[in-house]
Amino acid sequence: MTKNRLKIGMIQTRVGLDKAENVEKTSLAIRDAAARGATLICLQELFATQYFCQTEDAAFFDLAEPVDGPTVQAIAKVAKECKASVVVPFFEKRAPGVYHNSVVVVGPQGNTLGLYRKMHIPDDPLFMEKYYFTPGDLGFQSFDTPDAKVGTLICWDQWYPEAARLTAMRGSEVLTYPTAIGWHPSEKAEYGAAQLSAWQTIQRSHAIANGVFVIAVNRVGHEGPKDGGIEFWGHSFVADPFGVVLAEAGEGEETLIVDCDLTRPEWVRRNWPFFRDRRIDAYGDLTQRFLDSNKR
């Protein structure tokens, strides 16, 4: 029988230069979240390392690990200890020269419930991910945890309504977005508020359009050169299936614990039946890159 309540833990941290220390710091935060009642705990994107994609440097490929590598194993051990499911982002080494930005969902027995590879890979100033990550090839997925059906997406995926829709169509009650997003310090004064608002708005819209909970977990702190780099803005949050923000972190380290009513998606979808009214017969053109105005 489906449970009616889900307590979510979201771990928002600063990330240092020592990978082992970062993993241990996060492990302690997982234990704290579980002690406070969380049974689904979500970590931030690439939580074990600083955000190395600010530059193109082949030496950073040495940070990657296989799916059963030490980082995932360490978190799986803590998940089993705490009897919690954990969304674990990591830098995956699939084969020599083939790397992914990935997530493993670990169950409360320390077992692997599923693997997702980031589908949308950005290439922007200080976000040079195309150099490091091969686009995902597992499609959009949803995984059964003991408490809820969880869809896993990663950061740049959060800007694409198609990704949210297809993941929700697989039955997800919760969409998780581990994230590493922040301001270029030189742009913050002019664009910062609008950028943060856009980031929150697009994810709240996924919650509304699909009648699901959305979890966005971001990191905090400045990484990179003092006269540049990225200032990660935090503001991790949970939105309910009508886009209501249930809880939001600030710009410092924080572990959010949020109680979610899993009967809420049913109520929202009955009253705002977007899935019922979709014109699936008319959406074929979505598989095109762009529609030229002179072609029909």
Question: Residues 193-216: pLDDT tens digits?
Answer: 999 999 999 999 999 999 999 999
User: Does residue 10 fall inside a structural domain?
Assistant: yes
Which residues on neighbouring strands pair with residue 41, listed in sequence order? 9, 86
pLDDT of residue 177: 98
- Per the document, the length of the chain is 296
The radius of gyration computed from the CA coordinates of the chain, to the nearest angstrom, equals 19
Of the CA atoms within 13 Å of residue 284, those in its CB half-sphere come to 3
The 10s digit of each residue's pLDDT in 110-119 is 999 999 999 9
Rounded to an integer, what distance in angstroms lies between the CA atom of residue 256 and that of residue 75?
A: 18
Residue 79 lies in a domain: yes
Residue 129 forms part of a structural domain: yes
Q: What is the rounded CA–CA span in Å between residue 9 and residue 38?
A: 5
Catalytic machinery residues: 45, 118, 155
CA dist., res. 103 & res. 45, Å (int): 9
Overall domain count for the chain? 1
Residue 130 lies in a domain: yes
| Mean per-residue pLDDT of the chain | 96
Residue 295 pLDDT > 90:
no
Residue 1 has pLDDT above 70, yes or no: no
Q: What is the CATH number of the domain that holds 189?
A: 3.60.110.10
Angle at the Cα of 247 (from 142 to 156), degrees rounded to 5? 45
In tens, the pLDDT along 213-254 reads 999 999 999 999 998 999 999 999 999 999 999 999 999 999
pLDDT of residue 48: 98
User: For residue 98, what pLDDT is reported?
Assistant: 98
Q: For residue 115, what are the contacts with CB-CB under 8 A and spacing of at least 6?
A: 67, 102, 103, 104, 105, 138
pLDDT of residue 293: 79
Q: Rounded to the nearest 5°, which phi and psi values hold at 223?
A: -130, 140
DSSP state of 118: -
pLDDT computed for residue 296 by the predictor: 58
- 43 vs 79: CA distance, rounded Å: 12
The answer to whether position 295 is within a domain reads no
Are the CB atoms for 191 and 179 separated by under 8 Å? Answer: no
Dihedral angle of Cα 151, 154, 159, 164, to the nearest 10 degrees: -10
Range of the domain at 214: 5-287
In a domain, 209, yes or no: yes
Own/partner pairs, 30-33, CB within 8 angstroms, 24+ separation: 30/75, 30/78, 30/79, 30/82, 30/84, 30/86, 31/78, 31/81, 31/82, 32/255, 33/9, 33/84, 33/255, 33/257
pLDDT higher than 50, residue 97: yes
User: Quick check: 109 pLDDT over 60?
Assistant: yes
* pLDDT band for position 3 (cuts 50, 70, 90): confident
Determine the Cα–Cα distance for residues 143 and 114; give it in Å rounded to an integer: 6
The answer to whether residue 293 sits within a structural domain is: no
Inter-axis angle of helices 19-35 and 70-82, nearest 10:
20
Mean local confidence (pLDDT), 144-151: 97
- The whole-number pLDDT of residue 2 equals 54
Report which of 156, 150, 152 is spatially closest to residue 171, judged by C-alpha positions: 150
292: in domain: no
**For residue 88, what pLDDT is reported?**
98
∠ CA 76-247-1 to the nearest 5 degrees?
A: 55
The arithmetic mean of pLDDT across residues 94-104, rounded, is 98
With 0-12 / 13-18 / 19 or more C-beta atoms within 10 angstroms meaning exposed / middle / buried, residue 232 is buried
Q: What is the C-alpha to C-alpha distance for residues 266 and 208, in angstroms, rounded to an integer? A: 12
Residue 278 has pLDDT above 60, yes or no: yes
